[in-house]
Amino acid sequence: DTEVTQTPKHLVMGMTNKKSLKCEQHMGHRAMYWYKQKAKKPPELMFVYSYEKLSINESVPSRFSPECPNSSLLNLHLHALQPEDSALYLCASSRGTAYNQPQHFGDGTRLSIL
């Protein structure tokens, strides 16, 4: 069982829908991440939160809106997505953002945009 829990596991939505992806960890980690992964490609970093503040935004379109309500939770709000946004969305956490602290990944949410 992974220590980073993502819900839902699968999501199908239309281009006009609004939905949210959720990520939770109870390891006391203070850094949390969102990645996007297309088939047969490595993950691409989207956002990093450090101590509940957004520290990295990799020029992600505004139709993706992250939120970190507290140190255990990370949300990704989705609105007006495009078919090319269909992908596996992975959440990860680490104790901090120093180089020697490995990231722990969730199982991902597989998102399909109709």
Partner 1 sequence: KNEVEQSPQNLTAQEGEFITINCSYSVGISALHWLQQHPGGGIVSLFMLSSGKKKHGRLIATINIQEKHSSLHITASHPRDSAVYICAVTSSGTSGSRLTFGEGTQLTVNP
Q: What are the C-alpha distances in Å from 46 to residues 60, 85, 96, 105?
A: 6, 12, 17, 14
Beta carbons of 106 and 91 less than 8 angstroms apart: yes
Stretch that binds partner 1, among 12-20, 64-72, 78-86, 89-97 (CB under 8 A): 89-97
Among 21, 46, 48, 113, binds partner 1 (CB under 8 A): 48
* Integer Cα distance of 57 and 44 in angstroms: 12
CB of 96 to partner 1, least distance (A): 8
CB of 58 to partner 1, least distance (A): 9
Q: Which residues bind partner 1 (CB under 8 A)?
A: 2, 31, 33, 37, 40-43, 45, 48, 50, 55-56, 88, 90, 92, 94, 96-108, 110
